């Protein structure tokens, strides 16, 4: 298998969306996640929350021996009940933003980007918008990056002028319900009706570990009420999985679970995401053999209760090159 970047998505199959007052302020939703979607090179699969009932949803294969075709990112899009993903046949070929139904049917290309376009931040919001970021120009003719939203049917493309969205490259740090963006250093930029509310913004990492190099993989819940992250301990490969409320002057985070990543796995692949609203945290890590992969490669997934810290389910994908799970 080819080496590239891969994504695992937890799909929320029942959403109750409220009306929204502004396209830049996505509506609140309730959710119950029951299906895992994940990407391996140019294929998207689905499983249940125990790693079983694996099915091929859609494929952009077979592998093109003269190029490097792969899916860069995949997200579940609420309200439209579709998947959205970015695909290219080769880095120097056009990039395509595609959508399909959860069973892979009705596949559509809703946006085409020129070759070499560095598309970033694929994020779906609870009102069915898809966010993506295009880079600016470097020095000396420097211009800022720009963030856009588009609907799953390809209509309504709009530039998001609120610059806090362009200040992060990690979709896990943007609230799907539009309540805020977590910036560098733990600063939580509160968003009200699509506008940055500086007066009420705050640093969510206050009272946490001062050495921020020990804090990894921050991830917001969809409603921005909770934050989870991994904190490195003095033991090799060991992390404390922590959780805290996203409110000003919140007490120190709670240690839910101590994770020991085995020596054959890469700590670089560690990823945390909220699942079932804020009921569970999905922790994953894996072993990947560069450059072509191996049948002995794997991704391990632990489903943690966000209150008790108990591991409710554990499963492993063998031979799959997957990391960086995210939830919508």
Listing DSSP states for 291-310 in one string gives TT--TT-EEEEEEEETTT--
pLDDT at 244 over 90: yes
Position 320 scores a pLDDT of: 64
* pLDDT of 19 over the 60 cut: no
pTM of the full structure: 0.82
Question: Which position has the higher pLDDT, 200 or 6?
Answer: 200
Name, of 97-101, 182-186, 321-325, the range with top average pLDDT.
97-101
pLDDT digits (tens, 9 = 90+) for 69-83: 888 888 889 888 899
Specify the higher pLDDT residue, 268 or 261: 261
Residue pair 189/173 in contact (Cβ under 8 Å)? The answer is no
Does residue 324 surpass a pLDDT of 60? no
CA dist 88 and 276 (Å) reads: 31
Q: Which of 257, 244, 236, 241 is nearest to 310 (CA)?
A: 257
Cα–Cα distance for residue pair 215/210, rounded to 1 Å: 9
| Domain limits, the chain | 31-327
Name which CATH class applies to 31-327.
mainly beta
Which phi-psi region, left, alpha or beta, contains residue 258 (left: φ > 0; alpha: ψ -120 to 50)? beta
Give the pairing of strands 8-17 and 325-327: parallel
Query: What's residue 25's pLDDT?
Result: 36
Residue 189 has pLDDT above 90, yes or no: yes
pLDDT of amino acid 252: 95
Q: Which of 22-31, 49-58, 270-279 has the lowest mean pLDDT?
A: 22-31
Which of 47 and 19 is assigned the larger pLDDT? 47
Instruction: Provide the pLDDT confidence category of residue 265 given band limits of 50, 70 and 90.
Output: very high
Give the pLDDT confidence score for residue 291 in this predicted structure: 61
């Amino acid at each position: 298998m080819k080496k590239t970047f891969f994504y695992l998505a937890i799909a929320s199959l029942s959403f109750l969306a409220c009306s929204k007052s502004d396209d830049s302020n996505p509506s609140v939703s309730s959710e119950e996640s029951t299906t895992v979607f994940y990407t391996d090179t140019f294929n998207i699969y689905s499983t249940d929350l125990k790693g079983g009932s694996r099915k091929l949803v859609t494929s952009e294969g077979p592998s093109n021996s003269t190029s490097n075709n792969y899916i860069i990112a995949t997200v579940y899009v609420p309200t439209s009940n579709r998947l959205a993903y970015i695909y290219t046949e080769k880095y120097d070929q056009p990039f395509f933003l595609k959508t399909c139904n959860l069973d892979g049917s009705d596949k559509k290309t809703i946006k085409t980007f020129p070759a070499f376009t560095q598309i970033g931040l694929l994020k779906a919001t609870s009102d069915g918008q898809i966010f993506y970021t295009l880079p600016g120009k470097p020095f000396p003719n420097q211009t800022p990056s720009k963030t856009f939203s588009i609907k799953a049917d390809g209509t309504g493309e709009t530039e998001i002028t609120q610059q806090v969205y362009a200040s992060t490259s990690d979709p896990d740090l943007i609230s799907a319900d539009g309540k805020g963006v977590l910036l560098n250093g733990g600063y939580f930029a509160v968003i009200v009706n699509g506008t940055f509310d500086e007066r009420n913004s705050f640093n969510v990492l206050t009272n946490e570990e001062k050495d921020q190099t020990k804090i990894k993989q921050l991830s917001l819940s969809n409603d921005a009420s909770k934050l989870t992250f991994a904190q490195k301990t003095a033991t090799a490969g060991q992390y404390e999985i922590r959780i805290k409320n996203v409110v000003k002057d919140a007490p120190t985070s709670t240690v839910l679970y101590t994770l020991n990543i085995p020596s054959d796995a890469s700590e670089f692949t560690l990823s945390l995401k909220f699942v079932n609203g804020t009921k569970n945290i999905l922790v994953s890590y894996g072993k990947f053999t560069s450059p072509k992969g191996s049948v002995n490669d794997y991704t391990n997934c632990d489903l943690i209760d966000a209150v008790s810290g108990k591991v409710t389910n554990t499963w492993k994908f063998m031979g799959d090159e997957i990391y960086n799970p995210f939830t919508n």
